[in-house]
Amino acid sequence: MSGTGHLDGNSLRDQYAGFLSACPDYAATLPLDTVRATEFSRLDRLGHVYLDYTGGGLYAESQIRDQMSFLLGTVLGNPHSSNPTSSTSDELVERCRSRILRFFNAPENEYVAIFTGNASQALKLVGEAYPFSPDSHLLLTFDNHNSANGLREYAREKGTTTCYLPIVPPDLRIAEGAITSCMCQRDGDHDKLFVYPAQSNFSGVQHPLEWVDLAHERGWDVVLDAAAFVPTNRLDIARWRPEYVPVSFYKMFGYPTGIGALIARRDALEKLRRPWFAGGTITVASVQADQYFLHTGPAGFEDGTLNYACLPAVERGLDFLDSVGMETIHTRVSCLSGWLLDEMTGLEHGNGAPLVRIYGPADNGCRGGTIAFNVYDPAGEAVDHLEVERRANTWNISLRTGCFCNPGAGEMALGITKDEIVTCFTQADSRMTFNEFRQCIDEKSTGAVRISLGVASNFADAAAFIQFMKTFRET
């Protein structure tokens, strides 16, 4: 089944013409159609409609070819030694660090790139080492990813109070003024950490980067969770100067998986106190003296051996994105998501009942190409999101369902109250599976469907998805 297999040529052409006149900026992104044909031909050859870029990006074919021939023409040894193969690896690791900083316009004298396994591990590095105390404060947003929510457990252990900024339905944005009033109530000289996503992986909402300035004016350190933002938006770190920025590279360009980074301001890094040491993080450690000295800079935060054979592929991925142009990717994703939002909100059953309810902004302002929603029947009952996924699978459409590791956004979007959730947690002995939780919150949907766009998305993908959605329409 091809990406347009459910559409006849004329219908697709008509829709495309309408789309182009509604979003004239799309014309500037047409070179991406060639990129799709040359670098992502496997999508159409295998008939995939890929709509899960927020879950994981796709790699360009040239990234893999170049990495293969590089590996075949090089001998790499474990870094941190002066032998020739080790020196080669060391050189490549440092080159990759510089490339990452350059990509995000983070000046090398002010920032370092610390390699981690993914964005979650980057967040954990901050959480376990931030100087939380009973006097400090942690501020999170309701739509943080669970890997950011988890920081509250490190805070709790040290007696730090955590406060959450609520998101307000239906747009699922944070009310203007909420952030300043929350920060003003926590004045004083103590350590204060604000953690927020530049883009919500649930609703696609893009929170203002200006919040970094606002937080700094009030003495807060900022973790800008950029994992869902950077695959389709340019992040200029020198402009915003956040203390800590976690990213996962597979979300940006598909390969390699298993490598992320914590991009940290050098002065902010000095604030962190690691709770342990490991191979690679120390200059000296002694068993008899029961002492150790940590490396300064990134090495002090990189536990064990780096994924040195794959690291050069990160450079190739960044080169690929630069060659295509982040602005071009951004424009394409923005045009396609605007069209999808319009089409989805216009879908109706025969009795006039809406077919789709979007969770998050239904227009295209200050949002990325991630759209969360549920499908409804003519009586206004939600169709189980798992059923939507099951049917999408038969169309070879890859979308995602559930709460996307973002429980706060899910609770707000689906109208699940604190009392309902607390009751479920109280009923459970020690653990509860997601299915048991679904039964506990009966009558309510415990999840949503999410589609998301990226570098290889084209109009045919969007049109095929809308065609699929129309199969839920009852006349």
Ligand X SMILES: Cc1ncc(COP(=O)(O)O)c(C=O)c1O
Residues carrying an active site annotation: 405
Question: Minimal CA–CA distance to 315: which of 55, 66, 38, 54?
Answer: 66
Asked if 141 is part of the footprint of ligand X (rule: CB under 6 A), the reply reads no
Contact by Cβ (8 Å): 412, 166: yes
* CA–CA gap between residue 329 and residue 236 (Å, rounded): 16
Tokens matching residue 217: 């004016």
Does 233 interact with ligand X (rule: CB under 6 A)?
no
Kindly tell me which of 120 and 136 has the beta carbon lying closer to ligand X. 120
- Asked if 227 is part of the footprint of ligand X (rule: CB under 6 A), the reply reads yes
Beta carbons within 8 Å of 468's beta carbon, 6+ residues apart: 6, 391, 392, 395, 397
Among the residue ranges 221-229, 323-331, 439-447, 464-472, the one whose residues contact ligand X (CB under 6 A): 221-229
201 contributes a contact to ligand X by CB under 6 A:
yes
Q: Taking CB under 6 A as the rule, does residue 452 contact ligand X?
A: no
Choose the stretch contacting ligand X; rule: CB under 6 A; options: 66-74, 151-159, 223-231, 237-245. 223-231
Q: Is 368 in the site for ligand X (CB under 6 A)?
A: no
Residues 59-88, interacting with ligand X (CB under 6 A):
none
Note whether 360 and 202 are within 8 A (CB). yes
CA distances 385 to 257, 400, 408, 448, Å, are 27, 9, 18, 6
With CB under 6 A as the contact rule, which of the stretches 9-17, 25-33, 113-121, 133-141 interacts with ligand X? 113-121
Q: How far is the CB of 202 from ligand X (least distance, A)?
A: 9
Contact between residue 448 and residue 399 where contact means Cβ atoms under 8 Å apart: no
- 57 near ligand X, judged by CB under 6 A: no
Residue 348 CB, nearest distance to ligand X (Å)? 32
At closest approach, how far in Å is the CB of 122 from ligand X?
A: 8
Instruction: Determine which residue in the list 15, 63, 118, 206 makes contact with ligand X, applying CB under 6 A.
Output: 118
Q: Coil, helix or strand for 343? A: helix
- Kindly indicate which of the ranges 168-176, 205-213, 222-230, 268-276 contains the residues binding ligand X, using the contact rule CB under 6 A: 222-230
Smallest separation (angstroms) from ligand X to the CB of 296 = 26
Amino acid at 417: T
* Residue 370 interacting with ligand X (CB under 6 A): no
Q: Is residue 119 a contact point for ligand X (CB under 6 A)?
A: yes
Q: Give 205 or 227: the residue with its C-beta nearer to ligand X.
A: 227
Tokens encoding 68: 């293969």
Per-position DSSP letters for 241-289, written without gaps between them: --SEEEEEHHHHHS-SSS-EEEEEEHHHHTT---S---TTTEEEEETTT
Which stretch of DSSP H or E encloses residue 419?
helix 418-427
Rounded Cα–Cα distance for residues 140 and 246 (Å): 15
Give the residue from 18, 122, 53 showing the smallest Cα distance to 457.
Answer: 53
Helix, strand, or coil (residue 449):
strand
Rounded distance between C-alpha atoms, residue 171 and residue 359, angstroms:
7
Measured CA to CA, the distance from residue 446 to residue 402 in angstroms comes to: 7
Work out whether 232 is an interface residue with ligand X (CB under 6 A).
Answer: no
Options 36, 145, 152, 316; binder of ligand X; rule CB under 6 A: 145
Pattern of binders to ligand X over 236-275, x per CB under 6 A?
Answer: ------------x---------------------------
Measured distance CA(95)–CA(3) in Å, rounded: 39
For ligand X, the closer of residues 44 and 243 by Cβ is: 243
- Closest approach of ligand X to the CB of residue 121, in Å: 7
Shortest distance, position 116 Cβ to ligand X, whole Å = 9
Which residues of this protein are in contact with ligand X, per CB under 6 A? 118-120, 145, 147, 197, 201, 225, 227-228, 248
